[in-house]
Amino acid sequence: MLSLDKYDVVIVGGGLAGLSTALELADKRKKVLLLEANPYLGGRTSSFNDNGMEVESGFHRLIGYHTEILKMLGKAGVNPDEIFTWEEDIEIRSVKKKTSAVFGVAPVFNPLKTLKGVTGNNRQLSPRDKISLLPFFTNGLKDYGKHPKILDEMTIGEYAKKHGVTENAFHFIIESFSSGLYFLSPERYSAYVFFGLIAPGIPKSYKMRIGAFLGGMTDIMCNPVARAIERKGGEVRTGVKVKELCIDETGSVTGVKTEEGEQINGNHVVLATTLFSAKQILLPEFGDHSWFEPMFKLPVMPAVTFQMELTKRALPKDRTTFGPGTVLSSFSEQSRTTFRHAYGRLSIILSEPEQFLDMTPEQTLKIVLEDTKRLGMDLDDHVFDYRQINHHFDFHSLEPGNNWLRPEQDTPVTGLVLAGDYTMQPYFATMEGAVVSGKKAAEAILKNKVQVP
């Protein structure tokens, strides 16, 4: 079945990368069609009903100095202050130290709390611990700029040991942020990626704070962007899975074929899927193409999120919390923010994710409840419902040596462009990286080899 319409651009994938690409091109009056395999938009930033329970694809936060996603929302007519509530501190709960500490993360919006976090919390971090972090961060940021490939050969654990970080500072700070942000232990996590999260924020530190969603991400963020694309003349279709690319006799990409047998033609195709899905589509046609060889070698890694509806609130405040030394790498009570219909709601990113992929949700729940108790939350008799959301292949690996395998958005194949946070741009597995990749994909098309009518 051949679609009668021909599009300037067909975009495969309705996550933030695809939405960003489509919005940029629709804004330039290009005829765009966005296709999403799921019945809802958002990809890794989606929210949906899972057999009667409202869930999200993962526990997400907006970093205040990430500006491109805010620009995208503004272009779509979305006021960020209406969909985010801004957190000015984080909490670290340590089972090893049997204590917790609160650190301010908004140096301009709440400088006193930020200063108090650094100079206080001496019960958790001694002055010696804090001082040991100075050469670690100073040298790490310097090496990020001057010796990136050397830095990417080391884990963050190795780098911390090299620069004399105390055991306690390593546990409380580095382990918290490495496993909490990217669900990898410090022994597996690239030092380049770790400092790559921090470095872009230094010039924008005055914007730093953390945004928590005030509702499901699909409903309050992704759907409004899709409606803006449609207002600008674009089309958005969900529940359409792309099976393969259409290739002409010259080797150019001319469209896509869906699993239902529909052929959709376009002057350009943007693959804005996960790395795993992009490989599945590209390998049959370009498996022996030298340009794609590094991308095909780029490993993927899993993520697992666990979400519990509770009959009481797990914590007195909705804020981002880290649990070093437990399977709760990062988590938050969300009954006052994202899931306000719930009496209590705990959303958790689990570490290390591989161990949970073959577990039943009941088995995972038992482990989670053991660790919530160790962190001061006794929830055994208060679990009303729960879901485990497995992402088997959704992230590119952030282990050492993999960063340089990431592809550019513009490919040497006429008519084919890539988008997704795995593509080369300054961010790693973040919403900001997805949006930036979409903008770069749109820029590649607008300046590209094939003339768009």
pLDDT in tens, 266-300: 999 999 999 999 999 999 999 999 999 999 999 99
Residues 6+ positions from 406 with CB-CB distance below 8 Å: 294, 295, 298, 396, 422, 423, 424
Q: Which residue has the higher pLDDT, 76 or 122?
A: 76
Residue 39 scores a pLDDT above 60: yes
pLDDT of residue 413: 97
| pLDDT, position 207 | 82
H or E, element range at 347: strand 344-350
SS3 readout for 138-151: HHHHHHHHHCHHHH
Fold of the 300-396 domain: Polyamine Oxidase; Chain A, domain 2 (3.90.660)
The stretch 184-197 carries a mean pLDDT of 91
Q: Specify the range with the lowest mean pLDDT, choosing from 80-89, 120-129, 237-246, 362-371.
A: 120-129
Rounded Cα–Cα distance for residues 202 and 149 (Å): 21
Q: Is the pLDDT of residue 87 over 60?
A: yes
Report cis status (omega within 30 of 0) of the bond before 352: yes
Tokens describing residue 231 = 């207002």
* Confidence label for 3 from pLDDT (cuts 50, 70 and 90): low
Decide if domain 2-60+215-298+402-446 falls under CATH 3.30.300.30.
no
pTM of the model: 0.94
**What is the average pLDDT across 342-352?**
95
Query: Per-residue b/e over 188-218, b at no fewer than 16 CB within 10 Å?
Result: bbbbbbbbbbeebeeeeeebbbbbbbebbbb
Measuring CA to CA, which residue among 30, 31, 36, 46 is closest to residue 12?
36
Read off the pLDDT of residues 295-340 as tens digits, 9 standing for 90 and up.
999 999 999 999 999 999 999 999 999 999 899 999 999 999 999 9
Q: Is 227 exposed, middle or buried (0-12, 13-18, 19+ CB in 10 A)?
A: middle
Q: What mean pLDDT do residues 368-375 have?
A: 96
pLDDT single digits (tens) 160-188: 999 999 999 998 899 888 888 888 889 99
Extents of the domains making up the chain: 2-60+215-298+402-446, 89-207, 300-396
Q: Which residues contact 2 (CB under 8 A, 6 or more apart)?
A: 262, 263, 265
Print burial letters for 311-338: b (CB count within 10 Å at least 16), e (below 16). eebbbeebbbbbbbbbbbbbbbbbbbbb
Averaged pLDDT for residues 125-145? 94
Taking residues 88-96, report their average pLDDT.
89
Cα–Cα nearest to 438, from 229, 136, 161, 245: 229
Determine which helix (DSSP H) or strand (DSSP E) holds 361, and give its type and residue range: helix 361-374
Asked if pLDDT for residue 200 goes beyond 90, the answer is: no
Average pLDDT over residues 370-380: 95
Q: What is the mean pLDDT of the chain?
A: 93
